Amino acid sequence: MLFLALTDEKGNLIWISTARPGRSSEITAARHDHICAHLRAADLGALADLGFTGLDDDPDHPLIVTGLKATRGHPLTPPRKRRTSWSAANAQPTSTASPYLKNWRILTKMRLYPHHATTLLRALLVLTNAEVQR
């Protein structure tokens, strides 16, 4: 199963997307869930890894900040390398949310329909937030 999770700057889970089969890509799942539109409506921004490069539909006012990819013929310049390392360093604290979800053993054995998995994931989101806030 593939699902996307949004966290705040402290690593607390805020939102979990609908579950999709594992063969789906992250950027496609983000497009189907209209993450950019929801972030714009809430007047928020996001840091993401290189898998989400090109997701933002407004290059003049970027909403999702990612690192930059080097290509074979065009290596990254020093300012672009700094931007990539900055986004990786600032996105790191938000990756603390996935161990909270991985503590639930049911997720390691989950072989459900995506609809049922989404219901289970949303319930685990509530339980995880209750456990973290204790």
Number of domains in the chain: 1
Task: Kindly state the greatest CA–CA separation across the chain.
Answer: 52
- Segment 89-119, tens digit of pLDDT: 777 666 666 676 777 777 766 676 777 788 8
Measured distance CA(97)–CA(71) in Å, rounded: 31
Radius of gyration of the chain (CA): 16
Measured distance CA(122)–CA(126) in Å, rounded: 7
List phi, psi (to 5°) of 130.
-65, -40
**Structural domain containing residue 111:** 5-132
What's residue 96's pLDDT?
A: 64
Measured distance CA(121)–CA(3) in Å, rounded: 9
- Segment 5-39, tens digit of pLDDT: 888 877 777 888 888 887 888 888 888 888 888 88
